[in-house]
Amino acid sequence: MLIKGHVYKFGNNINTDVIYPGKYLSITADREEMAKHCFEAVHPEFLKNANPGDIIVGGKNFGCGSSREQAATCLKYFGVRAVVAETFARIFYRNAINLGLPVIIAPGITQQVEHNDDIEIDLLIGIIKNMRTNEIIKAKKLPDFILKIVTNNGLIPYLKKKLGILGN
Amino acid sequence: MGTLAEKILSVKSGKDYSANDIVIAKVDVAAFQDGTGPLGVRQLQKMNITKVKAPTSIFFLDHAAPSPRRELSNDHMLLREFSKQAGAILSEVGDGVIHQRLVESFAKPGDVVIGGDSHTCTSGALGAFATGMGSTDVAIGMAIGKTWFKVPETIRIEVNGKFQPGVFSKDLILYLIGMIGADGATYKALEFGGSTIDKMSMESRFVLSNMAVEAGAKVGLIASDRVTREYLKARGRLKDWRPLAPDKDANYEKVIKINAAKIEPQVAFPHTVDNTRPISSAKGKKVSQVFIGTCTNGRIEDLKIAAKILSGKKRATDTRLIVVPASRDVYLEAMKLGLLATFVKAGAIIMGPGCGPCVGVHQGVLGNGEVCLSTANRNFKGRMGNPEGFVYLASPATAAYSAIKGRISDPREVIKKGKKGKIRVNKSKKGRGNR
């Protein structure tokens, strides 16, 4: 599975209050509406400059802080195709997978990829190619069962389809 | 052989497991609050789940309590209606913050507790494997009574020695997070032990577990011992107690040793929790608002020390003081002990039990450029509702003393060693408010 996109780059410790401001936590159903507030309070330029199809590249501890699932939801419904980071905070990481938003751990990524670069992620092998420099960056391959959840567009569709353990 | 995390998850998944194994564990308690619950309920409805299977399933109305906006009021209605229909417990507006309510009445040693709130790790102080998750994860756990975990590696935090008067468990945890960083324990379990922890009250222990997530940890565990027993007994829950300790030969990823006697009062500067420094470097910083409360430091022990310092004093003219008891029981106890009168006389405003202004939803949103000294666990940019505001974190003693001075001030100036090792608050005129 190949994911191509334009890079929107952030630094270390991007927390979920920054990704999705607390005052919009009351939006719990309308995902398109959530998407209108990604990074709004602290990095309002994101909403002006980023485009659907972009890939977010972050530093260490991306998604730390509050457990709000809206932080992963707003990115997915904005159209962010994947998030690549040096490391992730665990709740955000699980939330993204549960929603079918690919999250890839790639140590050293912030050194090898610049804002506005184009990159290509091979999810199955776990490598990232920088199209500007032609450099190949090794990423951590997702464990198979996580890959299945992501490629089935999230935990609920996956459980419904594969296991049939839910429902009445 | 096992750490606390390994032992609990092994029991709950029916086989001996160790760090890095992936397990499917039984869930004892699944909890939501009003910020994450509505999303969870919508996920459950999408799957046509009408009954919950986790033995204790609870919805807490605390983040917007009472609701300041109609959208939030409608969310509250959704949670009330769903919990009634699905057989879940509802903790109403005014009952208190999820994590305080969980330790008071629901979580017990050896439990697996999952909550749609990152500070669910608070219950780890009771010896429960308690961790925060997103709405979909908690929804599934609540629906089927099970969830998957990677068994975390454990960092043992060994604390020995006695705190100086004026230094508290909040200072210890801020100090630790400053030392290891906001991602110093990502994916890992923190396990607190040592003579300082053995002697520490349950209320002080909750502060340590509560903030484990601020170093990225999955859980912040403490053995269940006599202190745990006394706490549960006092709450009429003796039957919920059981002893639980890590094995002597448990495998730790690393052990960090801390001498409690060497720690000074700490302050976390904006805008990250690991931006922690000794109070001397914050001393004199003007403060527009002091906030004492939250799931970190809104317990009776916290209100007691704050009231002791504020007794007979006034807040500084230019400093607002907001006090929020963490739960209805804390509120009642504070009322009985006369602490609320002390706060009101000192110029404070007291809000009903709940999260108060911590999450920036209501009850004390900061103005542009304003500084808040808070006893909460997070000081992220925009956290208190305004990215132009500045949040500093400290202990309730530091907060209370700073409210009198109007500037961040060192509580050791008034807290001295008293008889029998107890602490005493100096009642000299020095430190009276400037009104």
Check which CATH number belongs to the domain holding B152 and give it.
Answer: 3.30.499.10
To test the contact with chain B by mutation, choose from A14, A30, A42, A66 the residue with the greatest count of B C-beta atoms within 10 A, namely A66
Are residues B272 and B254 located together in one domain of the fold?
Answer: no
pTM, whole model, 2 decimals? Answer: 0.94
Per-residue pLDDT tens digits for B263-273: 999 999 999 99
Mean confidence (pLDDT) of chain B: 96
Are residues B281 and B231 located together in one domain of the fold?
Answer: no
- Asked, for residue A95, whether it belongs to a domain, the answer is yes
Burial of residue B311, with CB atoms counted within 10 A of its CB: 0-12 exposed, 13-18 middle, 19 or more buried? middle
Are residues B141 and B34 located together in one domain of the fold?
Answer: yes
Tell me which DSSP letter residue B342 carries: H
| Partner residue facing A64 (CB), from B43, B64, B182 | B182
Average pLDDT over residues B100-106: 98
Are residues B311 and B291 located together in one domain of the fold?
Answer: yes
3-state secondary structure (DSSP) of residue B101 = helix
Per-residue pLDDT tens digits for A44-100: 999 999 999 999 999 999 999 999 999 999 999 999 999 999 999 999 999 999 999
Distance in angstroms (rounded) separating the CA atoms of residues A61 and A42: 17
Amino acid in the structure at residue B332: L
**Interface touch A160/B47, C-beta < 8 Å:** yes
Going by pLDDT thresholds of 50, 70 and 90, the confidence category of residue B434 is very low
Going by pLDDT thresholds of 50, 70 and 90, the confidence category of residue A27 is confident
Are residues B204 and B329 located together in one domain of the fold?
Answer: no
Are residues B68 and B141 located together in one domain of the fold?
Answer: yes
- Asked, for residue A168, whether it belongs to a domain, the answer is no
**Interface touch B218/A60, C-beta < 8 Å:** no
Are residues B71 and B194 located together in one domain of the fold?
Answer: yes
- pLDDT in the model for residue A23: 83
- Asked, for residue B433, whether it belongs to a domain, the answer is no
Q: Which residue has the tokens 């607002």?
A: B320
**Interface touch B380/A90, C-beta < 8 Å:** no
**Interface touch B383/A72, C-beta < 8 Å:** no
Mean confidence (pLDDT) of chain A: 93
Q: Which residues of A touch B38 (CB under 8 A)?
A: 28-29
Tokens representing B231 are 């706490």
| Partner residue facing A166 (CB), from B49, B383, B385 | B49
Give residue B287's domain range.
267-425
Average pLDDT over residues B100-123: 98
Q: Which residues of B touch A91 (CB under 8 A)?
A: 118, 132-134
Q: What share of chain B is helix, strand, coil (3-state, %, to 5)?
A: 40, 20, 40
Closest CA to A14 of A61, A80, A76: A61
- pLDDT in the model for residue B280: 97
- pLDDT in the model for residue A109: 97
CA B358, chain centre distance (Å):
12
Average pLDDT over residues B60-81: 96
CATH number for A12:
3.20.19.10
Going by pLDDT thresholds of 50, 70 and 90, the confidence category of residue B428 is low
Are residues B325 and B211 located together in one domain of the fold?
Answer: no
Average pLDDT over residues A16-40: 92
Q: Chain B residue with minimal CA distance to A17?
A: B383
Are residues B254 and B273 located together in one domain of the fold?
Answer: no
Distance in angstroms (rounded) separating the CA atoms of residues B383 and A16: 10
Specify the DSSP element, H or E, that contains B230: helix B226-234
3-state secondary structure (DSSP) of residue B334 = helix
- Asked, for residue A115, whether it belongs to a domain, the answer is yes
Residue A150 touches chain B, beta carbons under 8 Å = no
Interface confidence, given as ipTM, is 0.86
Domain boundary (B230, B260, B290) is at: B260
Going by pLDDT thresholds of 50, 70 and 90, the confidence category of residue A164 is low
Is residue A146 over pLDDT 90? no
- pLDDT in the model for residue B311: 98
- Asked, for residue B435, whether it belongs to a domain, the answer is no
**Interface touch A61/B216, C-beta < 8 Å:** yes
Measuring CA to CA, how many Å separate B253 from each of A69, A124, B1, B15, B332?
30, 30, 13, 22, 43
Looking at the structure of chain B, the number of domains it has is: 2
- Asked, for residue B434, whether it belongs to a domain, the answer is no
**Interface touch A155/B136, C-beta < 8 Å:** yes
Closest CA to B275 of B216, B214, B210: B214
Measuring CA to CA, how many Å separate B379 from each of A56, B210, B298, B354, B430?
24, 15, 17, 18, 30
Distance in angstroms (rounded) separating the CA atoms of residues B283 and A158: 54
Average pLDDT over residues B43-52: 91
Give residue A154's domain range.
2-163
3-state secondary structure (DSSP) of residue B328 = helix
Domain boundary (B196, B231, B260) is at: B260
